[in-house]
Structure 1
Amino acid sequence: MSIKLSVVDQSPVHGSHAAIDAPRLTIELAQLCDTLGYYRYWVAEHHDSIHFANPCPEIMIAAIASVTQNIRVGSGGVMLSHYSPLKVAESFKMMATLFPDRIDLGIGRAPGGTGLTSQALAYPHQPHHGDLYANQAQLLKGFIEGNLPDNNPFSTIKVLPDSSPQPELWMLGSSGGSAGLAGHLGYNIALARFIDPDNCHPSIFSEYLQQWQQAGHPQKPNKMVAIACICAETEAEAKLRAGTAVYRKLAAQLGMREAFLTPSEVQDRYREFPASHQAQYDHILNGYTVGTPEQCSEEINQLAQDFDCDEIATVAVTHSQADRLDSYTQLIKGF
């Protein structure tokens, strides 16, 4: 199986740079991945975060697409519960017009932030916490494809004077909650295994395909799995670099919130942990793909086989931008 390698970038606030540099560093990595031959580059959406610096993926997508040549660029994803489906359709169809055949629109149900930010994003209305997500997703697809039924009150709306260019439509999930909906509506599906590897199983794709077939969509469905991956010249170095992201996830589980630690600081903390926290750390690390190009390639190929998909996207969060650039440079060598 020929595997397409892609990227999901959360725009981490690297400890090696000032926080204001984080969006620029995302663009720098995107340009590198374009030259290295990665297939797709998605940016995430987070609000009120000290770790991740992109609350508006549509702006970052346009910026990246304008300085890259071949790589597809998109959202992984737009947190649709906060937004008007029409406005999202307008933004992404505009980008699809400016950058033909290169724009992806991935949507998700999660809030991407705290309850307070959900309230602020919905103000002066009340947040609906994803209760309308299925209706929003269906309406968004209708606006994108220009095929809302005649009895829909919005059916006469033209998103653009020429609405023919379309972004590729994707729905995100991590543990299967959206798989059936994605298949029923006819969205491509991306599983965020990096969020919850313990509950992200190949059976999710089975439910998705069953719903796709029952709905009778004529086109071929696309599937992708997104994993946490840190690659380096040696396994020891890769595990050391991965510590920054692993500790952040552990800290979140323990109710702590602090800026990214250096790999050496993480090792110091690990040595001070009680055995239960060390076991928790080790479990998180085991859910990552970490190692040399050959080791990462072997594991990615196995995941592609297990999930029966031909595209794997990787998320790399490191303390320094140099380590992140190197991780993607090393990883592609294995393919």
Structure 2
Amino acid sequence: MNIKLSVVDQSPVHGSHAKIEAPRLTVELAQLCDSLGYHRFWVAEHHDSVHFANPCPEIMVASIASVTERIRVGSGGVMLSHYSPLKVAECFKMMATLHPDRIDLGVGRAPGGTGLTSHALAFPHEPHHGDLYAHQAQMLEGFVNGTLPADSPYSTIKVLPDSSPKPQLWMLGSSGGSAGLAGHLGYNLALARFIDPDNCNPAIFDSYAEAWKKAGHTGEPNRMLAIACICAETEEEAKLRAGTAVYRKLAAQMGQREDFLTPEQVQDRYKAMSTSEQAFYDHILKGYTVGTPDQCWQEIESLAYQFYCDEVSTVTVTHSHHDRMDSYRLLAKHL
């Protein structure tokens, strides 16, 4: 299988740099990945986060597309429950017009932040907490592709004077809840294994394919698996670097919120953990793809085979920006 390797970047706030630099470092990484031959570069959306510095993916996508040449650029994803489908369509169709055949629009149901930020984003209205997500996704597809039914009150709206350029539509999911909806509406599907590896399984793609065919869509949709991955020259160094991301996930599930720890600080915390906490840490680490380039690629190929997909996207979070760049350089040697 010829695997396309892509990137989902969360704009981590590295301890090695000033916090204000995090968005710029994402742009720098995108330029590197463009030169190395990665297929796509997606940016995530987070609100009120101490760890991730991108609350507005549409601005980041436009910035990255303007300074790269070949790589596809998109959102992974826009948290659609906060926004008007028309406005999202306008933003991404404009980018597709300015950067033909390079823009992806990935959407997700999750809030990407706290309940407080959901209220603030919805003000002066009340947040609907994803209850209208299916309807929003349907409207978004209609605005992007010009397929709103004639009886829709919005069917006469022209997103742009020439609405022919279109972003590629994707839906994000992690445990299968969005697979049927994506297939029914004709979205491509990206499975975020890095969020919930315990419940992300190949059967999700099967149910997606079934819904796609049942809806009468023609052709074969794109399918992508997104994994957490840390690559280094040695397995020991990769596991050390991965500690920053693993501990953040562990701490988040325990309700703790602090800046990224260095790998050395994580090791000190690990030694002070109870046996059950260490087991939890080890379990999270096991869900990551961590090791040398050969080890990482062996697991990437295995996962691509298990999930029967030819595109794998990697999410790399480290304390140091150098380590994040180094991981992508090392992985690219097998492209």
| TM-score class, shorter | over 0.9
TM-score (norm 1): 1.00
C-alpha distance in structure 2 between counterparts of 1:219 and 1:298, whole Å: 30
Aligned to 2:7: 7
Aligned to 1:262: 262
Aligned residues: 335
Show structure 1 runs of 4+ deviating over 3 A. Answer: none
Say if 2:243 is the partner of 1:249.
no
Aligned to 1:220: 220
Deviation at 1:332, TM superposition (A): 1.3
Query: Sequence identity of aligned pairs in percent?
Result: 77
Aligned to 2:277: 277
Q: Write out per-residue CA displacement over residues 66-119 of structure 1, whole angstroms, 9 at most, x where no aligned residue.
A: 000000000000000000000000000000000000000000000000000000
C-alpha distance in structure 2 between counterparts of 1:219 and 1:189, whole Å: 14
Deviation at 1:219, TM superposition (A): 2.8
Helix, strand or coil: the match of 1:6? strand
Helix, strand or coil: the match of 2:313? strand
Aligned to 1:65: 65
Helix, strand or coil: the match of 2:74? strand
Aligned to 1:173: 173
Q: Write out per-residue CA displacement over residues 51-78 of structure 1, whole angstroms, 9 at most, x where no aligned residue.
A: 0000000000000000000000000000
Say if 2:331 is the partner of 1:331.
yes
The amino acid across from 2:90 in the alignment is: E
The amino acid across from 2:295 in the alignment is: Q
Aligned to 1:139: 139
Helix, strand or coil: the match of 1:334? coil
Aligned to 2:210: 210
Aligned to 1:87: 87
C-alpha distance in structure 2 between counterparts of 1:4 and 1:102, whole Å: 15
Structure 1: tracts of 5 or more residues without a match: none
- Contact 1:296 1:334 (C-alpha < 8 Å) held by counterparts: no
Say if 2:76 is the partner of 1:76.
yes
Q: Write out per-residue CA displacement over residues 182-224 of structure 1, whole angstroms, 9 at most, x where no aligned residue.
A: 0000000000000000000000001100000000101321100
Say if 2:46 is the partner of 1:46.
yes
Helix, strand or coil: the match of 1:180? helix
C-alpha distance in structure 1 between counterparts of 2:150 and 2:6, whole Å: 38
C-alpha distance in structure 2 between counterparts of 1:208 and 1:332, whole Å: 30
C-alpha distance in structure 1 between counterparts of 2:121 and 2:270, whole Å: 38
Deviation at 1:334, TM superposition (A): 2.9
Say if 2:138 is the partner of 1:162.
no
Deviation at 1:149, TM superposition (A): 1.0
The amino acid across from 1:184 in the alignment is: H
Structure 2: tracts of 5 or more residues without a match: none
Aligned to 1:116: 116
Aligned to 2:16: 16
Say if 2:194 is the partner of 1:194.
yes
Residue pairs, 1:293-332, within 5 angstroms: 293-332=293-332
Aligned to 1:27: 27
C-alpha distance in structure 2 between counterparts of 1:278 and 1:330, whole Å: 29
- Contact 1:96 1:166 (C-alpha < 8 Å) held by counterparts: yes
Deviation at 1:48, TM superposition (A): 0.2
TM-score (norm 2): 1.00
The amino acid across from 2:123 in the alignment is: Y
C-alpha distance in structure 2 between counterparts of 1:28 and 1:232, whole Å: 20
